[in-house]
Amino acid sequence: MAAMQQLSGNSTRPVAFSRCNSVSGLIGLSSKSRLLFFRTTLKPRPLRRSFSVKNVSSETKQNQKDPVPSQEATTSLGPFTPDAASIASSIKYHAEFNPLFSPELFDLLKAFFATAQSVRDALIINWNATYDLYEKLNVKQAYYLSMEFLQGRALLNAIGNLELTGPYAEALSKLGYKLEDVAGKEPDAALGNGGLGRLASCFLDSLATLNYPAWGYGLRYKYGLFKQKITKDGQEEVAEDWLEMGSPWEIVRNDVTYPVKFYGNVVSGSDGKRHWIGGEDVNAVAHDVPIPGYKTKTTINLRLWSTKAASEDFDLNAFNAGKHTEAYEALTNAEKICYILYPGDESIEGKILRLKQQYTLCSASLQDIIARFERRSGSTVNWEEFPEKVAVQMNDTHPTLCIPELMRILIDLKGLSWKDAWNITQRTVAYTNHTVLPEALEKWSLELMEKLLPCHVEIIKMIDEELIQTIISEYGTVDLDLLENKLKEMRILENVVLPEAYADIFVKPEEAPTIPSEELQNSEEEDDDEEEEGEEEEATGEMDITNEVGIKDKKEELPEPVPEPPKLVRMANLCVVGGHAVNGVAEIHSEIVKDEVFNAFYKLWPEKFQNKTNGVTPRRWIRFCNPDLSELITKWIGTEDWVLNTEKLAELRKFADNEDLQTQWREAKRNNKMKLVAFLKEKTGYSVSPDSMFDIQVKRIHEYKRQLLNILGIVYRYKKMKEMSAAEREEKFFPRVCIFGGKAFATYVQAKRIVKFITDVGVTINHDPEIGDLLKVIFVPDYNVSVAEKLIPASELSQHISTAGMEASGTSNMKFAMNGCILIGTLDGANVEIREEVGEDNFFLFGAKAHQIAGLRKERAEGEFVPDPRFEEVKEFVRSGAFGPYDYDELIGSLEGNEGFGRADYFLVGKDFPSYIECQEKVDEAYRDQKRWTRMSILNTAGSYKFSSDRTIHEYARDIWNIQPVELP
């Protein structure tokens, strides 16, 4: 009763609630009363819970003083399951009072926002309760820092996790809309680009579902990477507009703001501490997005940072003087930090902006984490307990600055010693490596970093010096060549002279040369002769001009001085040194990390290195995106428990030859193919036959992922078709639709050439009347999560054909296998483990193995590679102009020669080409036998049980973070 009185303002009478069926029933209530109404009607599960009207995520001064949330007036709410009528009332309320829209119309976009906000009301209840519990129990919490979170659309996922899909569909039907149409108006959150960001989002889903106390941290990119358009010129980039209308999911926390500093100087104060003064200051502002678990009350948080400058940084005098651009320069400089994901770094300005982004993520997140630790600790903060309460996971090298930033805060702001701070940092931080590609093992200019982050460079130099001491202690100074090699390989600072304390290790004492007396006498006689000649020249007053010229010539012939190599900071080395765990993301990748990428570190600290094979959430990637297949799996397994325990998918194996299941399996696949046919027509204008095989390669466009190999294989197929009669073509080839999707980075010229080539080939083939439906090539523009959710359920063959040893893991291969798609690929990344689980007969394997790659490149460099005639034939066909007037010499030229940048076929397209096209012939043969193909499809789904992100998260929680599940009562 007391709570009712409190929530109704100053009234001393309880508020009487009725289940309103229209928005008019809510208008007379106070805002607090409306809040209680929504908490009552939209409570997702029968339960009794105490609610307090407060923002548990805010880091206010009052909260920081009180480690235990105060017990506010509460009310116990009786069990209630939301029905369609109450949900419809909530949606209508949000439609009426949403400030983004005028009240006159209730169109699809407005319906989406109102629906999403009504779902958010339900999420906030669980969200606040989740963090109330974490605060009270003071549990150890994991914090996942990533530059990308590729979430996709959230509406269907959220109501699916809340088990409210049916009631929401019915409610929207009452309002005149279909749930699918409303959900289709949601833009994908433009917070990522590829597998790195999608993995992070899958992890958040699993963390919430498994009730692990965790939080995600990222940046709120206003324009994302870019929106991709495909024109006659290939890929064009335009700014992403996902935030144009705002986001109904995020909550801006203007009270959660942290300062982030750049430039300036480090000075020693009278207190003996270092002080970072001057420079440029920006504020990082928190935007929170609730992440619900599946069939659980746990709702965790993704906190995204935006950046802005303080209002006093706006130069009012300059503005009034007409210097408008100058007046808001500081504001623009602050805001642009979070404009774009991965701004081009060809220019120095681009490099600075990228480094600013990385530091903003690290600094704001760590300040937030530390504020939470201090608040939960109460009046007495024991920093030794920090690693017992906090686990920080760096997703790739982008958050590496967490290490020096945590050191800076602990030493300079909290007063800890270097030894204590370093011990705490190493026990807190862990690193996930995602690539063996050199460009992804980030290196930053030391000079640039000294200017932008002077305080952190001092710390990095001290860490490097400590590492040098460790290396010297390990290897000694007897074998100086060995020691020199180890230092060169392992140091954090590259091309930087040794610190003064170690400078004399490699200095050898100079010895006076021993000259035989006979040589010494001859030398003296030669000197006498030269002196006599000089005296004669002086006497005559004539100089030998020829000799002068000769001397000049000799000077000009001296070799040019070799420029000093750039001084760099190796971020990956800093990650390995500063963290307590380093993990690869697939078994083969983790072995390469130990044997090649970080071999010296592995020999020094073998206990640090682990494997954590990636995984994907089965909720989004089967249950919600493929309802036809999901229903079929549940029917044949006899339970829906597989959504949480994917091990049960393996039970499908015993039904793989059942004709009834095979028939139903093919029907489910065809339904998905029909949906994709309509989608492709809408997005590209091309009509394709659902009776064709759907062959799909969707991923970031990169030379190592070898979309070029795929399209050259298609060109070979097309050329052979053109050389046959119609009857021969029909007999030889089964109809195939080849679908591509993915973005080429805006400054990656070769990748953009590949996109242009694919689209040119598509235009030619798709308009060739002789070929018809036997072969189609489609490039789907602006590939994202929502597009993937349409493509993957309809796929029959999926290409994962990277050069062996270069793909860390991949996650799309897992999604395709889960949806009954057969893979063609190399033994690379997670392909190795997928093939082991689904069976060798159910995976199309080709290509060189990882251990052969170095030798094959050496063979090429020595001019010993002999290309297959079929490969030469395809290149000549491309050069003939068969696919239009565009000059593809640069693209094809990259596959030729024996050495040189952009030459010599570094990614072994030519080497693997014959193996690839022969493997594709086996694909054609298998697909003609639909019973065999369907069996393979079922076994792929059954064998994908291992690749749930739930399994991966359990391993991280156990082996790296040491956190335990905490479930709400």
Q: How many CB atoms lie within 10 A of CB 482?
A: 12
Which one of the listed residues 120, 700, 729, 935 is annotated catalytic? 700
Residue pair 468/477 in contact (Cβ under 8 Å)? The answer is no
| DSSP code per residue over 605-650 | -GGGEEE----B-HIIIIIIT-HHHHHHHHHHHS-SGGGT-GGGGG
| DSSP code per residue over 210-248 | TT--EEEEEE--SS-S-EEEEETTEEEEE---TTTT--S
23 contacts: CB under 8 Å, gap ≥ 6: 89, 92, 93, 95, 96
Q: How many CB atoms lie within 10 A of CB 410?
A: 24
Element (H, E) at 5: helix 2-7
At residue 255, the 3 state secondary structure works out as strand
- 555 is annotated as an active-site residue: no
Which one of the listed residues 220, 648, 673, 815 is annotated catalytic? 815
Residue pair 593/582 in contact (Cβ under 8 Å)? The answer is yes
Query: Which one-letter amino acid corresponds to residue 430?
Result: A
Backbone angles phi, psi at 857, to 5 degrees: -70, -35
Query: Which one-letter amino acid corresponds to residue 496?
Result: V
Q: What is the DSSP letter of 507?
A: P
Backbone angles phi, psi at 549, to 5 degrees: -60, -40
What is the rounded CA–CA span in Å between residue 800 and residue 826? 7
What is the rounded CA–CA span in Å between residue 903 and residue 924? 33
Which one of the listed residues 699, 706, 753, 756 is annotated catalytic? 699
What is the rounded CA–CA span in Å between residue 168 and residue 174? 10
As a whole number of Å, the CA-based R_g of the chain is 32
* Residue 177 vs residues 183, 566, 692: alpha-carbon distances, Å: 10, 61, 33
Residue pair 825/813 in contact (Cβ under 8 Å)? The answer is yes
- 815 is annotated as an active-site residue: yes
Residue pair 486/471 in contact (Cβ under 8 Å)? The answer is yes
Gap between the terminal Cα atoms of the chain: 23
* Residue 492 vs residues 341, 423, 513: alpha-carbon distances, Å: 26, 18, 38
Q: How many CB atoms lie within 10 A of CB 379?
A: 7
What is the rounded CA–CA span in Å between residue 382 and residue 424? 11
Q: Could you tell me which residues are beta bridge partners of residue 303?
A: 217, 288
What is the rounded CA–CA span in Å between residue 77 and residue 719? 71
- 567 is annotated as an active-site residue: no
Residue owning tokens 């399209």: 711
What is the rounded CA–CA span in Å between residue 72 and residue 33? 16
What is the rounded CA–CA span in Å between residue 461 and residue 453? 12
37 contacts: CB under 8 Å, gap ≥ 6: 17, 20, 26, 29
Query: Which one-letter amino acid corresponds to residue 593?
Result: V
Which one of the listed residues 153, 705, 729, 753 is annotated catalytic? 705
- 434 is annotated as an active-site residue: yes
- 699 is annotated as an active-site residue: yes
Q: What is the DSSP letter of 50?
A: B
Q: What is the DSSP letter of 747?
A: T
Taking Cα atoms as reference points, which of 344, 253, 342 lies closest to residue 290? Answer: 253
Q: Give Cα 618 distance to the centre of its chain.
A: 19
444 contacts: CB under 8 Å, gap ≥ 6: 351, 355, 568, 569, 571
Query: Which one-letter amino acid corresponds to residue 696?
Result: I
Residue pair 413/543 in contact (Cβ under 8 Å)? The answer is no
Q: How many CB atoms lie within 10 A of CB 636?
A: 17
Which one of the listed residues 299, 811, 826, 941 is annotated catalytic? 811
- 61 is annotated as an active-site residue: no
Which one of the listed residues 434, 461, 612, 619 is annotated catalytic? 434
Residue pair 729/722 in contact (Cβ under 8 Å)? The answer is no
Point out the residues that are catalytic.
434, 699-700, 705, 811, 815
